[in-house]
Amino acid sequence: MMERPSLPKRALARVLNAITWVGNGYAPPFSSELLRSYSLRELTRRSAAVTELAKVIEADLGERDGHLLLGFASLWNGCQVCALGHIYAGNLAHFRDRGELLAVDEQALSRLMRVSTDAELLEYSERCLAGPGEARILGLVRRLYQIKLTGADDGVDEQPGDSEMLAAAISAYDWINHCTIYSEGERPPLIAFSRLNQHFLLRARYAAARRAAGGPPQTSA
């Protein structure tokens, strides 16, 4: 659908990716697309806002739920890279801390994102988060859906600041998901958007556990 970004922009994107890899543990695959739209200065300014938001949300909800929430904020935009990258990061944190798999399977979500309606995707997510101890994240995902897709939010916060947190996460991905760059038939790389992306052993153990549980094979960058 689009021409490739220019050679200098692709080169600059490689430098940015190297910096992000060292600083955050992963290299986002859409840096060159963002540089097509924004100057380096503007991109840095914008990325800083999203990174800061992610840090504050993670500090409030914890590593696992922070990443899950960020993933769900992007999920309904259809962005396989951002949504699955954060949900994968949340899954890795859950697997590392509890030694078990969370029911939200990023590979299943990847398939569902291609064929489901918004409401069907919510139903799947609710089924996955129906277990004991998941009430907080389930409540947040339901409200996120209400705010983003129905406009029928009740405005009742379980914790002060929930409304602002959810609306901020939605807004953040509403600008960055302009870079959902993959064409039909292309399979985007699965990259955990956290430092856990560099824990190769953890990722291998997680992939083996998913395979053993009957999920499809993991392919990650």
Partner 1 sequence: MDGGPVTVEASAERLMLTAQGDLDGALASSVLAALTRALDASPAPVIIDLRGVTSYDEAGAQGLLRAHEALAARSRRSAYLLDRPRIRALVFKVIHATQDERTRPVATLEMAERWLHEPSTQSFADASLERTRTLLDRFRGKLALRGATSR
Residues that bind partner 1 (CB under 8 A): 1-2, 33, 37, 46, 49-50, 52-53, 56, 60, 75-80, 113-119, 121, 148-151, 159-161, 164-165, 167-168, 171-172, 174-175, 177-181, 183-185
**Which CB atom, from 50 or from 129, has the smaller least distance to partner 1?**
50
How far apart (Å, rounded) are the C-alpha atoms in residues 76 and 89? 18
Buried b vs exposed e over 99-109: b needs ≥16 C-beta within 10 Å? Answer: eebbbbbbbeb
Residue 138, SS3?
A: helix
CB of 139 to partner 1, least distance (A): 17
CB of 149 to partner 1, least distance (A): 4
**Which CB atom, from 84 or from 92, has the smaller least distance to partner 1?**
84
**Which CB atom, from 56 or from 108, has the smaller least distance to partner 1?**
56
DSSP bridge pairs for 220: 190
CB of 105 to partner 1, least distance (A): 16
CB of 151 to partner 1, least distance (A): 6
Burial class from Cβ neighbours inside 10 Å (0-12, 13-18, 19+) for residue 167 reads middle
How far apart (Å, rounded) are the C-alpha atoms in residues 211 and 153? 38
